Structure 1
């Protein structure tokens, strides 16, 4: 069966706090581990009232102590925001705490609007131009390249599984050139999915880390006993997406029945485009939709986004999804 993993945003619900969100993420990770999910990733976002995972490495330490086997990692670290040496130290520390379990997905977007550059005191446009060099520098820091002026401790010799993340052709080409696994963020930007995967596979150059292309596809998934209930669960994230697109980001709102049908045509079209690669419905429907995504993309792994206002509902969704995918897998 294709590997299934979980992407979490440590969503802060309306009426809740960052403490609540981080406790919920740890609970979700422990459940994902028990259900047999392969990875649990957290994403770096900044200045979002509804997301508590801005300090990803700190959050991962919290999740690591709540689990024992599942791989945990960043999906991802927005590398232009950071110094590669500091990231090597942070993820080297995580590897020392949780050996053999740490993933480092790297992206070049800021994870926020243009104001983040001023707060970080960085020219993020210029920093993004150095993204390929910074990825290579991180590899050298973990490998202990003798040409570097200073070793990262912890970091030197850390067994970190590095990934390139992307939603465009740039990341696909870089991952192919470096011989790294590639994760495409189809859960929010599916437009270039097929072209990016084709380009990655065509141009892939084997490396010491990877002898053939390895693809992960991000998708949104909500499973419930009925389709109506699944779409109701998804309406919280749908509302968050529309609020973000209209410049009104906030905490994760409670679900609203019939939310998609209530949207004006332009907003509805935006949401349909974003959710093009998604699986929402009964367990059987979700398994069919995820299987279709796997057939379309040839993905080695799927990472499932889909935060809910009530964490218990997502816990149930993950259980139903895994059960249905196992039942649908060839004997």
Structure 2
């Protein structure tokens, strides 16, 4: 591992501790990536660690393409380096460029990237601790040499720190609190096209955007939930965090009323809905997650111990470990972080 890669890894992990919101976080992380592998544009996203569905996006000079086109390419078209493939591939990295793409031609390269001026793409699936946390795509225009396999190997050295950065940012502490709003609805047709987006849903999606990321970009979150629901998945949902720190749950269900195929609901999440993803992002053990779930209901340590057949000392040890992992000083701060 070279000095530039070591420096990039250190900077990424330092940025992960930054509690800024939106682009400042991503900007710090991506400046570090640029130290190791240069690029012209990027798209970084996080997924709900329980369902694997996209829940947060960060981008600069990304792909200005209708979301339906990107989803179709990722899920239907025959192409190279799909995220699902990279998750299973050793190193979790792949390069897409003219000199690396055998027949048949890549629709993503020829129909999406090149019309936007990009000549090559380097993708990373952010897999760490045996779990998929998100992904990163880097783009280069014709002023650069295309990404090489050697650069893909270099980028693969950043997978662990990038996954850590995304995990920490999803459970960051914020001071902003605003009055809650009602749920929003998105009606999705059989080809994945949005038929109706309520004003409430539009506003919630706006709360997921940041500089460099627009509503069209974050609508990919809704598209992935809708596609999962259309495929019959019972866990067609993701937990997402707004830029001011509020938690949302975005869930989809089949709707057998033409022309609607799926109804997606965007609404504030309750603490019970947040816990599974929060526990995974925070690195909590199964038992720590159980104790956390009971603590959020207001039970005292003695009551939690009785419920789980543990000693009070053990329960307090689990709570103390949870406080350390989440960077809080006590139960009140922890509950505030999850609400």
- TM-score class, shorter: under 0.3
Of structures 1 and 2, the larger Rg is shown by 2
Structure holding more strand per residue: 2
Query: Please, what TM-score do these two structures have when normalized by structure 1?
Result: 0.27
